[in-house]
Chains A and B, each alone.
Chain A
Amino acid sequence: MRRTRLAVSLALLVLLSGCASFAPPQPWEKQYLATPAMQFDADKLDVRNTQHIYYSKEGAAGGYGIGGGGCGCN
């Protein structure tokens, strides 16, 4: 239970740190959001390689997207 509460607080912290101002942008205000640094998974091969390494060296993995196929790294 303590762990779950910690989990929720950490997730909210990440969420709220961006919520300092909730003002969804107009179409002409999206030039920053369009930059690669602001996108999630802009470099798919990099995410795939990195998550594959963690998957093979840590107990559990996931969350970054699905469908890339399995492997024998258990």
Chain B
Amino acid sequence: MASAAAAVAATDRTAPRVRALLAAALALPGIVPAPAAAQTMPDAGFIQFKYLDYRDWQPGARRMRVENPGFYVMSPFAEAWVVEGALVYDGMSGASPMWHDTLSGASGEGIHDRRAAGDVKLTRYFDGFSVGAGVAYSHENDYISRGGSVDLRVWTADKNTTYTFSYAGAADRIDTPDGAANHERKYVNDFLVGVTQALSQTAIVQSNLTYTRGHGYFDDPYKTFDSRPDNRRVLAWLTRLNRHFPDHHGTLQLAYRYIDDSWDANSHMVEAAWVQPLPHAFSVRPNLRYYTQRAAYFYFDPPFPTGLVFGQPYTADTRLSAFGAFTLGLLLAKDFGGGWSGDLKVEYYRQKSDWRAGGNGSPDILPFSARWIQVGVGKTF
């Protein structure tokens, strides 16, 4: 029995003269499958609908519920162009975000808010690079955001390395009905530099550095005593690796992100997932995520009003406290044939100050839990 698989895969043993023949062979049209990678223009469109049902709670109180339907469409046109668009709608009800001193105040105090957001992006593909530009708009009854973005992707001739450069700018306007925030504005600039590298036939890695600069109104207007700095600089470094194991037919997805924050709420995040194909074109993806963050320098532990100094930034928002959080999720997907696909995802999230890496989580904070279910259906066309 002769095995040729390893010989064929070991292309570094290919002699120069065969490379000339291979190069001529590769010039034959359509001889290798066009990989569905970002640098090759998609040859088919895709439309997708998802519905997300989100609920969160803290011990003894139901908090917030969000129902979120959303659409996404992508379509190539005119030989070198791709248009993408998304439309999402959030229906929020329940109590506003958690504060360490307002547990009793939050129950019974409800908000009903709706948010609609949409964005459109156009990308033009050239030989060796692509350029994209997009606009985004988001509207809720107290918050309007308008933004635009541009991006440039450059890839090497063998398409194994891709460099990404993006910029996005957003101008937000905050106007609360009760006048606590009146014509407040916030401006955010995002810069992203990233590289994606195919390491082998079965492994690909991506590392992105994102620098976000915001200035303007950051306060939470629903709390009298919340005063945040009027600027924030965040540096996020995300590295992701996907590794396929042909013997098991499965794929391992790993991610690590470090965030350095000018508010001192630095954080680490690690996530691992495994995609396992099942018979009848099903696939399952369990995932586990761990997140840990420091407290913002202007976050103060209970009891209120410890640390509150007039004229100095202050927040009691537990989202800026020191805590750790776990997410456990499971995704089930199916390919129905004919371009139809469906997916169902359930994730469970729990935040506890005790879970902060290395200890020193913010004391006297109730654990926060959330669960979300997402159903989706998609069609290529």
Please list the residues of chain A having a beta carbon within 8 angstroms of any beta carbon in chain B.
3-4, 6-7, 10-11, 13-15, 17-40, 43-46, 48-50, 53-54, 56-74
Contacts and interface: CB of A to CB of B under 8 A. Distances in A.
Contacts of A23: 11-12, 199-201
A31 B145 contact: no
B163 to A, nearest CB: 14
A68 B223 CA distance: 27
A27 B26 contact: yes
A48 B349 contact: no
A15 B207 contact: yes
B268 A7 contact: yes
B237 A37 contact: no
Nearest to A11: B239
The SS class assigned to the A binding surface is: loop
Contact of A58 (B196, B240, B251, B325): B325
B7 interface: no
A29 B268 contact: no
B86 A44 contact: yes
Contact of A14 (B143, B167, B240, B267): B240
Interface stretch (B101-109, B168-176, B306-314): B168-176
Interface string B239-261: 11111101000010111111101
Interface string B134-154: 101110101101011101000
A10 B270 contact: yes
B283 A74 contact: no
A33 B198 contact: yes
Residue of A29, A35, A68, A70 most packed against chain B (CB within 10 A): A70
A72 B200 contact: no
B370 interface: yes
Contacts of A17: 241, 243, 254
B91 to A, nearest CB: 14
A68 to B, nearest CB: 6
Nearest to A56: B97
A44 B86 CA distance: 9
Contacts of A34: 33, 35-37
B50 A49 contact: yes
B265 interface: yes
Interface in B229-287: 234, 236-244, 246, 251, 253-259, 261, 263, 265-268, 270, 275, 283, 285
B201 A70 contact: no
Contacts of B151: 67
Interface string B364-381: 000010101010100000
A62 B200 contact: no
B298 to A, nearest CB: 12
B346 interface: no
B361 to A, nearest CB: 13
Given A68-B119, A70-B172, A59 B320 contact: yes
A40 B196 contact: yes
Contacts of A64: 208, 238
A44 B97 contact: no
B125 interface: no
Nearest to B199: A18
Nearest to B299: A59
Given A6-B268, A7-B237, A31-B33, A66 B166 contact: yes
A23 to B, nearest CB: 5
Contacts of A45: 48, 50, 70-72, 86, 88, 376
